[in-house]
Amino acid sequence: MEPKTVTHIAGVAIQVGSQLRQLCAWCGKKIIDVDLSTIMSTDGRPYGAFGDGTLVQVFEGDGFSSHTVVKPEVDAEGALRIPDDCCARPWSKQPAKPGPQLEVVR
């Protein structure tokens, strides 16, 4: 499997019992799905989720994945732009087209 990245927009994290789950608010991809009872903290901090609306770049390799918080691009007018590899931007292979603005509605 060829490694690739896709940037997702974190939705609200939900914990039921010891299960913590966070999906992409746009496409529904699981960003976090972990049983907290199986996680041991080495620094005493609890396992955290991403803030809702955070851009999370997910790298999926052969049998593993990693997550990186991505800062949104800001254009000359100060508007936030979603990254080219964002799941909410299916036309990302056409970088000449301007993309939509990112707006988190609370």
Q: Which of residues 29-48 bind Zn ion (CB under 5 A)?
A: 29
Looking at beta carbons only, is 29 or 81 nearer to Zn ion? 29
CB of 50 to Zn ion, least distance (A): 12
For position 67 contacting Zn ion by CB under 5 A, the verdict is: no
8 belongs to the binding site for Zn ion (CB under 5 A): yes
Q: Which is nearer to Zn ion, 7 or 20 (CB)?
A: 7
24 binding Zn ion? (CB under 5 A) = yes
The conformation of residue 89, written as its DSSP 8-state character, comes to -
* Cα–Cα nearest to 5, from 50, 68, 94, 53: 68
Residue 37 has φ and ψ, to the nearest 5°, of -70, -10
> 48 vs 20, 40, 74, CA distance in Å?
9, 13, 26
Does position 89 interact with Zn ion (CB under 5 A)? The reply is: no
Shortest approach of Zn ion to residue 44 CB, angstroms? 31
Distance CA 70, CA 57 (A): 6
* Count of other CB atoms within 10 angstroms of residue 7: 23
Contacts to Zn ion by CB under 5 A? 8, 24, 26-27, 29, 87
